[in-house]
Amino acid sequence: MPLCLPMIRRLKSPHLFGAIDRLPALGRPVGNKTFEVVNPSTGEVLAELPDMGVEETRAAVDKAYVAQSGWAALTARERSDVLWRWHQLIIDHAGDLAAILTAEMGKPLAEAISEVSHAAAYLQWYAEEANRVYGETISAPSTDRRMLVIKQPIGVVGTITPWNFPASMVARKISPALAAGCTIVLKPAEQTPLVAGAMFALAHQAGFPDGVVNLIYASEGDRVGRELCTNSKIRKISFTGSTEVGRLLMRQCSDQIKKVSLELGGNAPFIIFDDADIDGAVDGAVQAKFRNAGQTCVSANRIYVQSSVHDE
């Protein structure tokens, strides 16, 4: 089913987000298994999505693999233009994206709007970074040789994003890969897949060729993660989440010596010295500890105060 009717009525563009369970980026689900996405504040069922598994993931990887050579063959400017169009569409629909994000994740609307702007900023940066992929000329050991470094896309990239920043992490992971000429398969967190689906609806409007961006909805991330890590057509994995899961993914990638980027649990002291603005430090400590209800990888997990200002 699409987004629930009360949710759709709150959006300015319901026609755009009313069928995120049938996106071109999803491919064809196998079977009839579904899972619910629930508003954590009210318990309202926001959507019932196809629960995809190994077979759908493998099909998405195959699709990305076929599309990759054509996407890489475009000029950097052509790829940049598509990313720029996607960026503008996200800006144009920021209110709807933020409303969906708040409904499925629970953060205040003002923070959701800020996150969507952050996501758009990633696309803006990498749209231009696509044009700044420079090689190198290296001094050769003899005059009859010339040594060059040419940077090329690695291939298909598998990405797994967390629930706490479900819009910005999507943009942060896939926009550099797309700018470089890679194709992607994204598995968003099962708690917050809707804003990813909405962003992919806009990506389709922006004009990404078929198979360049691929989306997997799944309630059991371990099966999808294992397929992404062990599928030989995936050349790189990018994951943000817990240290425990990061270790597991690294082990699963090790047989193929696959490139892996991991952003895992943080270790974040908050330190106040005697030359600090105490009122400002208190405000900063509250924000560092309780931002996003404390659910960030850089949330302060201990506070050190110089003894001379402790009682202040």
Strands (E), the chain: 34-38, 45-50, 136-138, 147-149, 156-160, 183-187, 213-215, 234-240, 259-263, 269-272, 302-305
Tokens of 272: 């106040």
CB neighbours of 181 closer than 8 A, spacing ≥ 6? 68, 71, 72, 74, 79, 152, 153
Q: What's the CA angle centered on 73, arms 72 and 78, to 5 degrees?
A: 85
Pick the catalytic residue from 4, 111, 129, 297. Answer: 297
| Residue 297 known to be catalytic | yes
| Residue 263 known to be catalytic | yes
Instruction: Give the whole-angstrom CA distance, residue 12 versus residue 90.
Output: 13
Q: Are 203 and 170 contacting, i.e. CB atoms less than 8 angstroms apart?
A: no
Q: At what angle do helices 76-92 and 194-206 cross, to 10 degrees?
A: 130
Instruction: Give the whole-angstrom CA distance, residue 177 versus residue 133.
Output: 12
Instruction: Give the whole-angstrom CA distance, residue 254 versus residue 265.
Output: 21
Pick the catalytic residue from 227, 253, 263, 312. Answer: 263
Helix, strand, coil percentages, rounded to 5, for the chain: 50, 15, 35
Q: Which residues are paired to 272 by β-bridges?
A: 305
CB neighbours of 70 closer than 8 A, spacing ≥ 6? 209
Q: Are 57 and 185 contacting, i.e. CB atoms less than 8 angstroms apart?
A: yes
Which residues are the active-site residues? Answer: 263, 297
